[in-house]
């Protein structure tokens, strides 16, 4: 397992992040509710495409300092975690599907064309007998999931489940016991829930949470709540780093199955050192990226393809040049693969042109000789 010098300056100029930061990502609450589902309810979860969450481990507390560090090192534009010295861990909606086992393709979750009034009318049909205001209470939603259902309440359960996992795990908002209604257009027909791109919505809310956190820190506003799916960031990062004996096989799907509380703690410890500043703060980002051959995320696929196609060692001068260019241009590391191919093609063309130029004098001399002989 390789180690690299972490960017200590960016990590330790903190303020509120070392204080009591509350993450709205309540993994334990979701697991606790799901663990009480009978077989019929579990089948309903599978029918809407959220079956991967049935294997969510019982994670009580996420490392809050680690969460804030990850969010501070996210580049919102390129959607990468920037660790320093050219190390980048990209993330995208497909990774949400790979980690949690939820839909990540299909129709947009948020449709601004639908009026709020139409949305309320539709939801009143889904949650009969429940006030619209109560529908946005997570406690009320949880009560729906816990109660014994009749066959007629199947649709109500499916909608309530999505609202619950979005509010407590995948896209939690700032307010306590509050479910945003912005994605409820995608819930009007429970049979079509699986046809929506929920992965994109999770990424969208995570990027927004990162932007808010950075803005608050920049304005020296005390950060008390962290929104967005912080568990996703932790898993995609730890799953992409070389942590020696704590590396997990990428054959296990969904990826969240591999991450128990102890496993996350051991992996986080393996990636960190204690910074001696009188406060025993941790410095994260000490590890190197895992070998592309061991990783199932798409950031590694291009590197594997280049390695197989060209049979090049990663230490070759041209490969090192491609990696160096990504660092200098501040672009994602996975671009090194296509850049390597471009450099190889450029060298081939240069060599071809050089050979062509070398042959030009010989061709001209032969032509001149032919003309003299003809005269």
Instruction: Supply the range of the domain harboring residue 84.
Output: 8-284
DSSP string, 38-57: -HHHHHHHHHTT-GGGGG--
Which residues on adjacent β-strands are paired with residue 67? Answer: none
Among 109, 145, 113, CA closest to 127: 145
Q: 243 and 350, same structural domain?
A: no
- Final residue of a structural domain among 227, 252, 284: 284
Quote the tokens at residue 351.
């060599």
Q: 362 and 259, same structural domain?
A: no
Domain contains 31:
yes
Among 260, 28, 270, 41, CA closest to 144: 41
88-134: per-residue pLDDT in tens?
A: 999 999 999 999 999 999 999 986 555 455 555 555 555 555 554 55
Q: 273 and 147, same structural domain?
A: yes
Strand stretches in 215-368, DSSP E: 225-226, 272-275, 281-284
Q: Mean pLDDT, the chain, as a whole number?
A: 79
Burial of 293 (0-12, 13-18, 19+ CB in 10 A): exposed
Any residues with CB less than 8 A from the CB of 78 and at least 6 apart, and which?
Answer: 88, 90, 331, 332
Q: Report the distance separating Cα 332 and Cα 149, nearest Å.
A: 49
Q: 257 and 205, same structural domain?
A: yes
Residue 333 has pLDDT above 60, yes or no: yes
Q: 167 and 301, same structural domain?
A: no
Residue 371 has pLDDT above 60, yes or no: no
Report the percentage of the chain scoring pLDDT > 90. 45
- Final residue of a structural domain among 263, 284, 305: 284
Q: 45 and 170, same structural domain?
A: yes
Q: 304 and 259, same structural domain?
A: no
How many structural domains is the chain composed of?
2
- Of 159-168, 264-273, 299-308, minimum mean pLDDT range: 299-308
Q: 87 and 145, same structural domain?
A: yes
Domain contains 2:
no
Domain contains 3:
no
Residue 31 has pLDDT above 90, yes or no: yes
- Identify the pLDDT of residue 97: 98
Domain contains 19:
yes
Q: 304 and 275, same structural domain?
A: no
Domain contains 247:
yes
pTM (predicted TM-score): 0.74
248-276: per-residue pLDDT in tens?
A: 999 999 999 999 999 999 999 999 987 65
């Amino acid at each position: 397992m390789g180690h690299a010098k972490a960017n200590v300056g960016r990590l330790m100029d903190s303020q509120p992040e070392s204080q009591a930061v509350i993450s709205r990502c309540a993994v334990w609450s979701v697991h606790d509710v799901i663990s009480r589902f009978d077989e019929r309810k579990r089948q309903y979860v599978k029918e809407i495409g959220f079956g991967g969450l049935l294997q969510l481990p019982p994670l009580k507390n996420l490392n809050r300092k680690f969460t804030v560090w990850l969010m501070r090192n996210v580049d919102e534009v390129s959607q990468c975690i920037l660790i320093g010295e050219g190390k980048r861990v990209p993330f995208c909606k497909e990774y949400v599907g790979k980690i949690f086992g939820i839909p990540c393709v299909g129709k947009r979750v948020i449709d601004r064309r639908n009026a709020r009034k139409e949305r309320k009318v539709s939801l009143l049909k889904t949650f009969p007998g429940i006030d619209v205001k109560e529908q946005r209470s997570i406690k009320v939603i949880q009560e729906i999931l816990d109660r014994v259902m009749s066959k007629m309440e199947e649709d109500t359960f499916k909608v309530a489940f999505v609202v619950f996992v979005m509010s407590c795990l995948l896209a939690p908002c700032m307010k306590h016991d509050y479910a945003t209604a912005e994605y409820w257009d995608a819930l009007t027909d429970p049979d079509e829930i699986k046809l929506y791109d929920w992965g994109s919505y999770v990424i969208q809310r995570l990027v927004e949470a990162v932007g808010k956190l950075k803005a608050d820190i920049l304005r020296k506003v005390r950060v008390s709540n962290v929104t967005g799916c912080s568990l996703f960031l932790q898993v995609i990062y730890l799953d992409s780093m070389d942590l020696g004996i704590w590396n997990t096989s990428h054959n296990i799907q969904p990826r969240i199955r591999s991450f128990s509380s102890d496993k996350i703690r051991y992996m986080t410890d393996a990636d960190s050192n204690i910074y001696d500043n009188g406060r025993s703060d941790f410095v994260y980002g000490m590890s190197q990226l895992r070998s592309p051959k061991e990783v199932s995320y798409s950031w590694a696929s291009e590197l594997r393809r280049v390695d197989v196609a060209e049979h090049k060692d990663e230490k070759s001068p041209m490969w090192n040049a491609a990696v160096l260019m990504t660092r200098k241009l501040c672009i994602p590391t996975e671009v090194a693969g296509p850049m390597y191919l471009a450099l190889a093609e450029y060298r081939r063309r240069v060599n071809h042109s050089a050979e062509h130029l070398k042959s030009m004098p010989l061709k001209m001399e032969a032509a001149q000789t032919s003309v003299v002989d003809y005269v």
